[in-house]
């Protein structure tokens, strides 16, 4: 539709739009502004919108990974930087794994008739239904007590000698423990989204590759994967977002060295004395990747979101 | 010969990683939880060494006022949140379903709130609700009104408002997509017949959107039962138990009180509730779909 056909709208309509946009992004902008303010400015509030922006809060938050020593800090108490790196490792690895495993499964379900499609659609809903709080109990028990390597076995001894630690080596407290549960949580949804993209890949294209002598794996990697890139992007964003934002399971399964940023934010919120500026800066650091994704790929995100409800 | 073997094995190679992951991290844990809910389960023990107590945990919960309160809070939260969000979201979609310049930019801005980490959303709202520093009370005082104790007496309402802010866009986007994929012929025909915009909405748009609206409502309802971080950051379940939703109670029972058996039974109650909801909604969807199909046919025949 060309711009000439856009209807003329009531001014009240535009006023409503402005109000809606303001309500949607106002809180985010407010947090952004506060993350550049000193605590005195936040608390006095007198300065309002006029203030001298400072990156002190960000320096405090990231003090353990920046290469210089900020002037205003005597020593680095809040080690947000380390958990920031944990967050990145966990989110990236679980996204990559989910995508690889998920698109293989989706392809099998679409192209090979050996299992019902219904199983996937039902399990998608089942997993969507199960709140992380429900997974918390069994996973907490299993990861802490059952999925362990005994310290007296050879492998256990080797792991203990190489990586340190005293007792049995358990899945709890490791990056892998958190990554596995995120992969499992996201898989059904990713399989669901990718199926609807793979169905659209023209079959003759695959058959032509077959005739030329390509095996099923070559067809998959060289023909199918390049064609479903938009689907992969949507799936990647959703998976990354869950892994990046999740708090509950991460807090139950991580230890001092593997905790992610959401855990640190919650821990510091419950302290009696809230350092608003630093908390807001950390919040912004956590919010920025999803915001960038949204701005870059909103079309894909909306497609992914509607794939489940509108087309399903 | 060799290619035949590869072809025969391929499906299993493709599906195996997903199947194994889901077995280890979803199916087995859920079975483990159901088994554990019948036992007196302390997290320091292996489950096999614990004592079998039958329905003990379930009975204990049914008589536990704190659990019943959190059940009530959860239901109240979910129902209020979903009905207000449905009304607002669908209303906005109907209002904004026009060809305006920059619609895609608007949609991008609207989906921002749901992409942001719940922990961060809770943090933003906790700041805005703060009695002295917060935006709301400061604005109220600026116009000469008294401040409100947002996260005290009105905690549940305040938590509901934050959720509405974050998730109304979800319903808006899905309704808008549904609206834009409606058959244009039906709308055209009704316009020619002289239907007012209002009549169009009531008699054509809403009935045709119904299947999508029900799925949307179901997804949102399921998610409303999962909300945890936003409330945890804003109120930590308090004051008292006024905002302690079930997810919060479960995690507290498991990690703070270290009663895994009770927490497992609680999780099963929650799952059963969600399952009933889903089955009910699906039965309703089937029925509505059949009705909508009939209606669509009638409208198309008239056109």
pLDDT, tens only, B95-150: 888 877 778 888 888 889 988 999 999 999 998 998 888 888 888 888 888 878 88
Contact A262/B119, CB-based, under 8 Å? Answer: yes
Burial status of residue B263 (CB atoms within 10 A of its CB: 0-12, 13-18, 19 or more): buried
3-state secondary structure of A149: strand
State residue A2's pLDDT score: 40
Do B53 and B38 touch, CB atoms closer than 8 A?
A: yes
What's the whole-number mean pLDDT along residues A94-123? 82
Do B127 and B134 touch, CB atoms closer than 8 A?
A: yes
Q: What is the DSSP pairing of strand A169-170 with strand B39-40?
A: unpaired
Do A7 and A13 touch, CB atoms closer than 8 A?
A: no
A51–B contact, CB cutoff 8 A:
no
For chain A, positions 87-146, list CB contacts with chain B under 8 A.
100-102, 104-105, 107-109, 112, 114-115, 123, 125, 127-142, 144-146
Q: Confidence class of residue A203 from pLDDT cuts 50, 70 and 90?
A: confident
State residue B290's pLDDT score: 82
3-state secondary structure of A130: coil
Q: Confidence class of residue B269 from pLDDT cuts 50, 70 and 90?
A: very high
State residue B121's pLDDT score: 93
Q: Which domains can be identified in chain A, with CATH numbers?
A: 84-306 (1.10.3720.10)
Q: For an interface test with A, give the residue of B31, B111, B116 to mutate (most A CBs within 10 A).
A: B116
Contact B117/A287, CB-based, under 8 Å? Answer: yes
Both tokens assigned to A81: 């930087």
State residue A38's pLDDT score: 80
Q: Highest mean pLDDT: which of A9-18, A179-188, B198-207?
A: A179-188
State residue A4's pLDDT score: 44
Both tokens assigned to A216: 């099923």
Q: Is the pLDDT of residue B238 over 80?
A: no
Contact A306/B92, CB-based, under 8 Å? Answer: no
Element (H, E) at A296: helix A276-306
**Chain centre to alpha carbon of residue B113:** 15
Q: Is the pLDDT of residue B2 over 70?
A: no
Q: Is the pLDDT of residue B151 over 80?
A: yes
Both tokens assigned to B52: 């079998």
For chain B, positions 34-93, list CB contacts with chain A under 8 A.
36, 41, 43-47, 92
CA Rg value for chain B: 25
Give chain B positions within 8 Å (CB) of A7. 98-100
Write the pLDDT tens digit of every residue in B161-176.
999 999 999 999 999 9
Q: Confidence class of residue B303 from pLDDT cuts 50, 70 and 90?
A: low
State residue A3's pLDDT score: 42
What is the rounded distance in angstroms from the CA atom of residue A259 to the CA atom of residue A286? 14
What is the rounded distance in angstroms from the CA atom of residue B281 to the CA atom of residue A181? 28
Q: Which CATH number fits domain B62-274: 3.10.400.10, 1.10.1040.50, 3.30.2290.10, 1.10.3720.10?
A: 1.10.3720.10
Q: Is the pLDDT of residue A160 over 70?
A: no
Q: What is the DSSP pairing of strand A148-149 with strand B51-52?
A: unpaired
What is the rounded distance in angstroms from the CA atom of residue B275 to the CA atom of residue B67? 19
Mean pLDDT, rounded, of chain B: 86
Q: For an interface test with B, give the residue of A91, A133, A238 to mutate (most B CBs within 10 A).
A: A133
What is the rounded distance in angstroms from the CA atom of residue B136 to the CA atom of residue B195? 43
ipTM value for the complex: 0.85
B15–A contact, CB cutoff 8 A:
yes
B281–A contact, CB cutoff 8 A:
no
What is the rounded distance in angstroms from the CA atom of residue B86 to the CA atom of residue B101? 25
Q: Confidence class of residue A116 from pLDDT cuts 50, 70 and 90?
A: low
3-state secondary structure of A170: strand
Instruction: Report the residue from B25, B46, B169 with minimal CB separation from A145.
Output: B46
For chain B, positions 221-250, list CB contacts with chain A under 8 A.
222, 225-226, 228-229, 232-233, 236, 246-248, 250
DSSP letters for B101-153: TTHHHHHHHHHHHHHS-HHHHHHHHHHHH-TTTSHHHHHHHHTTPPP--TTTT
Backbone phi, then psi, for B39, in 5-degree steps? -130, 160
State residue B81's pLDDT score: 96
Crossing angle of helices A11-35/B118-129, nearest 10°? Answer: 90
A9–B contact, CB cutoff 8 A:
yes
Q: Confidence class of residue B295 from pLDDT cuts 50, 70 and 90?
A: confident
Q: Is the pLDDT of residue A97 over 90?
A: yes
Return the beta strands (E) in chain B as ranges.
39-40, 51-52
Q: Is the pLDDT of residue A99 over 50?
A: yes
Backbone phi, then psi, for B142, in 5-degree steps? -60, -35
Write the pLDDT tens digit of every residue in B45-86.
777 778 888 888 899 899 999 999 999 999 999 999 999 999
What is the rounded distance in angstroms from the CA atom of residue B249 to the CA atom of residue B68? 11
For chain B, positions 85-144, list CB contacts with chain A under 8 A.
92, 95-96, 98-101, 104, 106-113, 115-120, 122-128, 133, 135, 138
Spell out a b/e string for A31-57, using b for 16 or more CB atoms within 10 Å of the CB, else e. Answer: bbbbbbbbbebbeeeeeeeebeeeebb
Do B100 and A291 touch, CB atoms closer than 8 A?
A: no
Contact B115/A25, CB-based, under 8 Å? Answer: no
Share of residues in chain B with pLDDT > 70 (%): 99
Every domain of chain B and the residues it spans: 62-274
Quickly count: other Cβ atoms within 10 Å of residue B32's Cβ.
18
State residue B215's pLDDT score: 83
State residue A49's pLDDT score: 63
Q: For an interface test with B, give the residue of A46, A84, A134, A145 to mutate (most B CBs within 10 A).
A: A134
What's the whole-number mean pLDDT along residues B163-192? 88
Contact A28/B116, CB-based, under 8 Å? Answer: yes
């Amino acid at each position: 539709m060309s711009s000439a056909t856009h209807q003329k709208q009531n001014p009240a309509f535009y006023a409503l739009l402005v109000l809606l946009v303001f309500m949607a992004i106002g809180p985010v902008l407010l947090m952004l502004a506060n993350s550049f303010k000193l605590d005195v400015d936040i608390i006095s509030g007198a300065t309002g919108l006029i203030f001298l922006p400072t990156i002190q809060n960000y320096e405090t938050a990231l003090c353990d990974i920046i290469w210089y020593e900020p002037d205003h800090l005597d020593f680095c108490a809040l080690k947000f930087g380390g958990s920031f790196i944990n967050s990145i490792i966990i989110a990236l690895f679980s996204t990559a794994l989910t995508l690889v495993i998920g698109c293989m499964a989706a392809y099998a379900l679409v192209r090979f008739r050996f299992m019902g499609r219904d199983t996937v659609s039902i399990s998608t809903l089942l997993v969507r239904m199960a709140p992380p709080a429900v997974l918390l109990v069994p996973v907490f028990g299993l990861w802490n007590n059952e999925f362990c390597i005994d310290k007296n076995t050879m492998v256990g001894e080797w792991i203990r000698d190489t990586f340190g630690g005293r007792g049995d080596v358990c899945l709890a407290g490791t990056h892998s423990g958190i990554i596995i549960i995120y992969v499992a949580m996201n898989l059904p949804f990713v399989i669901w989204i990718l199926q609807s993209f793979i169905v659209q890949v023209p079959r003759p294209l695959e058959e032509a590759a077959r005739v030329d002598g390509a095996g099923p794996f070559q067809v998959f990697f060289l023909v199918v994967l390049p064609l479903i890139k938009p689907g992969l992007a949507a799936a990647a964003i959703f998976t990354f977002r869950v892994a990046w934002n999740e708090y509950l399971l991460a807090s139950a399964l991580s230890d001092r060295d593997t905790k992610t940023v959401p855990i640190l934010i919650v821990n510091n919120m419950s302290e009696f004395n809230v350092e608003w500026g630093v908390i807001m800066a950390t919040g912004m650091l956590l919010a920025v990747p999803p915001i960038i994704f949204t701005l870059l790929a909103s079309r894909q995100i909306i497609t992914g979101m509607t794939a489940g409800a509108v087309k399903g | 010969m060799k290619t035949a073997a590869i072809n025969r094995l391929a499906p299993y190679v493709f599906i195996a990683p997903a199947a194994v992951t889901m077995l280890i991290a979803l199916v087995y844990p859920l079975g483990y939880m159901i088994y554990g809910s019948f036992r007196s389960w302390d997290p320091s023990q292996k489950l096999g060494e614990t004592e079998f107590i039958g329905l003990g945990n379930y009975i204990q919960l049914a008589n536990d006022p704190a659990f019943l309160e959190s059940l009530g809070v959860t239901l109240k939260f979910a129902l209020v949140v979903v009905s207000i969000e449905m009304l607002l979201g669908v209303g906005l979609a109907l209002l904004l379903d026009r060809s305006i310049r920059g619609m895609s930019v608007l949609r991008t801005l609207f989906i921002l709130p749901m992409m942001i980490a719940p922990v961060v959303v809770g943090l933003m709202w906790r700041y805005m609700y703060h009695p002295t520093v917060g935006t709301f009370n400061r604005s109220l005082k600026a116009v000469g009104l008294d401040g409100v104790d947002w996260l005290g007496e009105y905690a549940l309402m305040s938590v509901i408002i934050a959720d509405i802010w974050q998730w109304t866009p979800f319903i808006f986007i899905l309704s808008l997509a549904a609206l834009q994929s409606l058959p244009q012929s039906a709308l055209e025909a009704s316009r020619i017949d002289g239907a007012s915009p209002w009549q169009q909405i009531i008699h054509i748009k809403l009935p045709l959107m119904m299947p999508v609206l029900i799925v949307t409502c179901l997804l949102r309802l399921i998610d409303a039962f999962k909300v945890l971080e936003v409330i945890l950051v804003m109120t930590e379940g308090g004051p008292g138990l006024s905002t302690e939703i079930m997810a919060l109670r479960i995690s507290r029972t498991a990690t703070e009180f270290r009663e895994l058996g009770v927490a497992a039974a609680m999780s099963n109650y929650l799952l059963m509730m969600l399952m009933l909801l889903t089955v009910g909604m699906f039965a309703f969807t089937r029925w509505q779909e059949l009705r909508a199909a009939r209606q669509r046919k009638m409208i198309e025949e008239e056109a």
